Amino acid sequence: MIDTHAHLDVCEAPPEELLARARAAGVERVITVGSGIDSCRVSLAIAEGELGVFAALGIHPHQAGGEEAERLGELAELLRHERAVAVGETGLDFYRDWAPHDRQRSLFAAQLELAAEFGKAVVIHNREADPETVEMLADFDGTVILHCFSSPGLLASALERDYYVSFAGNVTYPNAETLREAAKRVPAERILTETDSPYLAPVPRRGRPNEPANVVYTVAALADARGEDAAELAARIDANATVAFSLPVASPTR
Protein backbone atom coordinates (compact mmCIF):
# COMPACT_ATOMS: atom_id res chain seq x y z
CA MET A 1 0.00 0.00 0.00
CA ILE A 2 1.12 3.57 -0.63
CA ASP A 3 0.38 7.03 0.75
CA THR A 4 0.89 9.33 -2.23
CA HIS A 5 0.84 12.62 -0.33
CA ALA A 6 2.08 13.32 3.20
CA HIS A 7 3.81 16.33 4.73
CA LEU A 8 6.21 14.39 6.94
CA ASP A 9 8.32 17.47 7.60
CA VAL A 10 5.53 19.21 9.54
CA CYS A 11 4.09 16.25 11.42
CA GLU A 12 4.47 16.30 15.20
CA ALA A 13 5.94 12.81 15.48
CA PRO A 14 9.39 12.11 14.00
CA PRO A 15 9.32 10.64 10.48
CA GLU A 16 10.90 7.38 11.62
CA GLU A 17 8.05 6.79 14.10
CA LEU A 18 5.38 7.62 11.55
CA LEU A 19 6.96 5.37 8.96
CA ALA A 20 7.35 2.50 11.40
CA ARG A 21 3.63 2.65 12.19
CA ALA A 22 2.84 2.93 8.49
CA ARG A 23 4.83 -0.19 7.67
CA ALA A 24 3.15 -2.07 10.49
CA ALA A 25 -0.19 -1.14 8.88
CA GLY A 26 0.97 -2.37 5.46
CA VAL A 27 1.88 1.03 4.00
CA GLU A 28 5.30 0.38 2.50
CA ARG A 29 5.77 3.52 0.42
CA VAL A 30 5.15 7.20 1.10
CA ILE A 31 5.59 10.32 -1.00
CA THR A 32 6.48 13.20 1.28
CA VAL A 33 5.70 16.66 -0.03
CA GLY A 34 7.80 19.79 0.30
CA SER A 35 6.03 23.15 0.32
CA GLY A 36 8.65 25.81 -0.21
CA ILE A 37 12.39 25.37 -0.66
CA ASP A 38 13.39 24.73 2.95
CA SER A 39 10.55 22.23 3.29
CA CYS A 40 11.69 20.58 0.04
CA ARG A 41 15.21 20.17 1.40
CA VAL A 42 13.90 18.51 4.56
CA SER A 43 11.59 16.28 2.54
CA LEU A 44 14.49 15.14 0.37
CA ALA A 45 16.57 14.40 3.46
CA ILE A 46 13.75 12.22 4.82
CA ALA A 47 13.47 10.41 1.49
CA GLU A 48 17.22 9.82 1.39
CA GLY A 49 17.22 8.29 4.86
CA GLU A 50 14.11 6.09 4.75
CA LEU A 51 13.33 3.08 2.59
CA GLY A 52 10.33 3.44 0.34
CA VAL A 53 10.07 7.22 0.74
CA PHE A 54 10.16 9.62 -2.20
CA ALA A 55 9.59 13.36 -2.48
CA ALA A 56 7.34 15.73 -4.39
CA LEU A 57 8.86 19.20 -4.43
CA GLY A 58 7.10 22.49 -5.05
CA ILE A 59 6.17 25.98 -3.96
CA HIS A 60 2.61 26.16 -2.66
CA PRO A 61 0.16 28.71 -4.10
CA HIS A 62 -0.15 30.21 -0.62
CA GLN A 63 3.51 31.22 -0.99
CA ALA A 64 3.06 32.87 -4.37
CA GLY A 65 2.93 36.40 -3.00
CA GLY A 66 6.22 36.27 -1.11
CA GLU A 67 9.93 35.68 -1.53
CA GLU A 68 9.50 31.92 -1.80
CA ALA A 69 8.11 32.35 -5.30
CA GLU A 70 11.45 33.83 -6.39
CA ARG A 71 13.34 30.60 -5.58
CA LEU A 72 12.42 28.64 -8.69
CA GLY A 73 16.07 28.21 -9.61
CA GLU A 74 16.68 26.40 -6.33
CA LEU A 75 13.61 24.25 -6.92
CA ALA A 76 14.95 23.25 -10.33
CA GLU A 77 18.21 22.09 -8.78
CA LEU A 78 16.41 20.04 -6.13
CA LEU A 79 14.28 18.36 -8.80
CA ARG A 80 17.43 16.77 -10.20
CA HIS A 81 17.68 14.56 -7.11
CA GLU A 82 16.98 10.88 -7.75
CA ARG A 83 14.39 10.78 -4.96
CA ALA A 84 12.39 13.69 -6.42
CA VAL A 85 9.46 12.14 -8.27
CA ALA A 86 7.06 15.03 -8.86
CA VAL A 87 6.62 18.80 -8.96
CA GLY A 88 4.17 20.16 -6.43
CA GLU A 89 2.04 20.64 -4.82
CA THR A 90 1.35 23.60 -7.04
CA GLY A 91 -1.81 25.15 -8.40
CA LEU A 92 -4.40 27.73 -7.42
CA ASP A 93 -6.17 28.48 -4.14
CA PHE A 94 -8.87 31.13 -4.45
CA TYR A 95 -10.53 29.94 -1.22
CA ARG A 96 -7.89 31.04 1.29
CA ASP A 97 -6.74 33.81 -1.06
CA TRP A 98 -3.41 34.19 0.73
CA ALA A 99 -1.69 35.36 -2.46
CA PRO A 100 -2.80 37.54 -5.39
CA HIS A 101 -4.38 35.53 -8.18
CA ASP A 102 -1.97 36.78 -10.83
CA ARG A 103 1.01 35.74 -8.71
CA GLN A 104 -0.54 32.32 -8.16
CA ARG A 105 -1.04 31.85 -11.89
CA SER A 106 2.53 32.92 -12.63
CA LEU A 107 4.01 30.54 -10.06
CA PHE A 108 1.77 27.70 -11.26
CA ALA A 109 2.81 28.24 -14.88
CA ALA A 110 6.50 28.26 -13.94
CA GLN A 111 6.19 24.97 -12.09
CA LEU A 112 4.31 23.38 -14.98
CA GLU A 113 7.28 24.34 -17.13
CA LEU A 114 9.63 22.65 -14.66
CA ALA A 115 7.51 19.51 -14.67
CA ALA A 116 7.67 19.42 -18.46
CA GLU A 117 11.41 20.12 -18.48
CA PHE A 118 12.21 17.32 -16.03
CA GLY A 119 9.58 14.90 -17.28
CA LYS A 120 7.96 14.61 -13.86
CA ALA A 121 4.37 14.37 -12.72
CA VAL A 122 2.73 17.51 -11.40
CA VAL A 123 0.70 17.42 -8.15
CA ILE A 124 -2.17 19.89 -8.29
CA HIS A 125 -3.67 21.87 -5.41
CA ASN A 126 -7.01 23.36 -6.40
CA ARG A 127 -9.54 25.18 -4.23
CA GLU A 128 -12.37 27.28 -5.64
CA ALA A 129 -10.50 27.63 -8.93
CA ASP A 130 -11.86 24.85 -11.14
CA PRO A 131 -12.18 26.79 -14.45
CA GLU A 132 -8.81 28.48 -14.02
CA THR A 133 -7.10 25.19 -13.16
CA VAL A 134 -8.56 23.49 -16.22
CA GLU A 135 -7.45 26.39 -18.41
CA MET A 136 -3.89 26.39 -17.10
CA LEU A 137 -3.52 22.63 -17.50
CA ALA A 138 -4.93 22.62 -21.04
CA ASP A 139 -1.53 22.77 -22.75
CA PHE A 140 0.32 20.56 -20.27
CA ASP A 141 0.92 17.11 -21.74
CA GLY A 142 2.58 15.46 -18.76
CA THR A 143 1.16 13.41 -15.90
CA VAL A 144 -1.34 15.29 -13.73
CA ILE A 145 -2.34 14.22 -10.22
CA LEU A 146 -5.28 16.02 -8.64
CA HIS A 147 -4.28 16.04 -4.98
CA CYS A 148 -6.89 15.76 -2.22
CA PHE A 149 -9.72 15.73 -4.75
CA SER A 150 -12.63 17.79 -3.46
CA SER A 151 -14.03 19.44 -6.60
CA PRO A 152 -16.58 17.15 -8.28
CA GLY A 153 -17.05 19.88 -10.88
CA LEU A 154 -13.52 19.16 -12.07
CA LEU A 155 -14.15 15.45 -12.57
CA ALA A 156 -15.40 15.61 -16.15
CA SER A 157 -12.22 17.36 -17.28
CA ALA A 158 -10.09 14.95 -15.25
CA LEU A 159 -11.72 11.94 -16.87
CA GLU A 160 -11.46 13.44 -20.35
CA ARG A 161 -7.75 14.22 -19.94
CA ASP A 162 -6.82 11.00 -18.10
CA TYR A 163 -5.66 12.74 -14.94
CA TYR A 164 -4.98 10.76 -11.80
CA VAL A 165 -7.51 11.53 -9.05
CA SER A 166 -6.28 11.21 -5.47
CA PHE A 167 -8.68 10.92 -2.55
CA ALA A 168 -7.81 11.88 1.03
CA GLY A 169 -9.43 11.27 4.42
CA ASN A 170 -12.29 13.66 3.74
CA VAL A 171 -13.87 11.02 1.48
CA THR A 172 -14.63 9.05 4.68
CA TYR A 173 -16.65 11.85 6.30
CA PRO A 174 -20.40 11.30 6.74
CA ASN A 175 -21.27 14.33 4.60
CA ALA A 176 -18.93 13.36 1.74
CA GLU A 177 -21.44 11.43 -0.34
CA THR A 178 -20.74 13.62 -3.38
CA LEU A 179 -17.05 12.74 -3.17
CA ARG A 180 -17.82 9.05 -2.84
CA GLU A 181 -20.07 9.26 -5.88
CA ALA A 182 -17.21 10.90 -7.77
CA ALA A 183 -14.88 8.11 -6.66
CA LYS A 184 -17.16 5.56 -8.29
CA ARG A 185 -16.60 7.22 -11.67
CA VAL A 186 -12.80 7.27 -11.60
CA PRO A 187 -11.34 4.48 -13.76
CA ALA A 188 -9.48 1.77 -11.87
CA GLU A 189 -6.19 2.75 -13.51
CA ARG A 190 -6.51 6.43 -12.47
CA ILE A 191 -7.44 6.32 -8.80
CA LEU A 192 -4.97 7.19 -6.01
CA THR A 193 -5.15 7.64 -2.25
CA GLU A 194 -3.32 9.85 0.21
CA THR A 195 -3.45 11.11 3.77
CA ASP A 196 -2.26 14.73 3.35
CA SER A 197 -0.74 14.17 6.80
CA PRO A 198 -0.93 15.75 9.30
CA TYR A 199 -4.23 17.10 7.95
CA LEU A 200 -7.63 15.57 7.13
CA ALA A 201 -7.52 12.53 9.39
CA PRO A 202 -10.13 9.99 8.25
CA VAL A 203 -12.95 8.44 10.20
CA PRO A 204 -12.33 6.86 12.76
CA ARG A 205 -9.18 8.94 13.48
CA ARG A 206 -10.82 12.30 12.89
CA GLY A 207 -9.81 14.98 15.37
CA ARG A 208 -6.26 13.65 15.71
CA PRO A 209 -3.14 14.44 13.68
CA ASN A 210 -3.18 12.38 10.52
CA GLU A 211 -0.34 10.03 9.53
CA PRO A 212 0.49 7.66 6.66
CA ALA A 213 -0.78 4.55 8.47
CA ASN A 214 -4.29 6.00 8.25
CA VAL A 215 -4.45 5.67 4.48
CA VAL A 216 -5.88 2.19 5.12
CA TYR A 217 -9.16 3.81 6.23
CA THR A 218 -9.40 5.85 3.05
CA VAL A 219 -8.76 2.78 0.92
CA ALA A 220 -11.48 0.92 2.84
CA ALA A 221 -13.98 3.75 2.31
CA LEU A 222 -13.21 3.91 -1.41
CA ALA A 223 -13.49 0.15 -1.76
CA ASP A 224 -16.88 0.22 -0.05
CA ALA A 225 -18.10 3.05 -2.28
CA ARG A 226 -16.89 1.32 -5.44
CA GLY A 227 -18.05 -2.16 -4.42
CA GLU A 228 -14.53 -3.56 -4.60
CA ASP A 229 -12.28 -5.65 -2.39
CA ALA A 230 -10.08 -3.37 -0.26
CA ALA A 231 -6.92 -5.42 -0.71
CA GLU A 232 -7.35 -5.55 -4.47
CA LEU A 233 -7.99 -1.80 -4.61
CA ALA A 234 -4.91 -1.11 -2.48
CA ALA A 235 -2.79 -3.16 -4.87
CA ARG A 236 -4.28 -1.34 -7.87
CA ILE A 237 -3.58 2.06 -6.29
CA ASP A 238 0.00 1.05 -5.54
CA ALA A 239 0.43 0.01 -9.17
CA ASN A 240 -1.13 3.29 -10.36
CA ALA A 241 1.25 5.31 -8.19
CA THR A 242 4.21 3.35 -9.53
CA VAL A 243 3.30 4.48 -13.04
CA ALA A 244 2.23 8.03 -12.17
CA PHE A 245 5.38 8.87 -10.19
CA SER A 246 7.78 6.59 -12.13
CA LEU A 247 8.65 4.71 -8.94
CA PRO A 248 10.69 1.53 -8.69
CA VAL A 249 8.30 -1.35 -9.31
CA ALA A 250 6.55 -2.38 -6.08
CA SER A 251 9.65 -2.43 -3.91
CA PRO A 252 10.54 -0.44 -0.77
CA THR A 253 14.18 -1.49 -0.96
CA ARG A 254 15.44 1.82 -2.38
Q: What is the pLDDT of residues 168-191, one digit of tens each?
A: 999 999 999 999 999 999 999 999
Q: Which long-range contacts (CB under 8 A, 24 or more apart) does 99-102 make?
A: 99/61, 99/62, 99/63, 99/64, 99/65, 99/66, 100/64, 100/65, 101/132
Average pLDDT over residues 144-166: 96
- Quote the pTM value: 0.96
| pLDDT recorded at residue 192 | 98
| pLDDT recorded at residue 97 | 87
Average pLDDT over residues 68-86: 98
**pLDDT at residue 253 tops 50:** no
Task: Compute the residue count for the chain.
Answer: 254
d(CA 3, CA 50): 14
| pLDDT recorded at residue 250 | 54
What value does the mean pLDDT of the chain take?
96
User: Which string of b and e fits 100-127 if b means at least 16 CB within 10 Å?
Assistant: eeeebbebbebbbebbeeeebbbbbbbb
Average pLDDT over residues 24-38: 98
| pLDDT recorded at residue 213 | 98
Average pLDDT over residues 87-106: 96
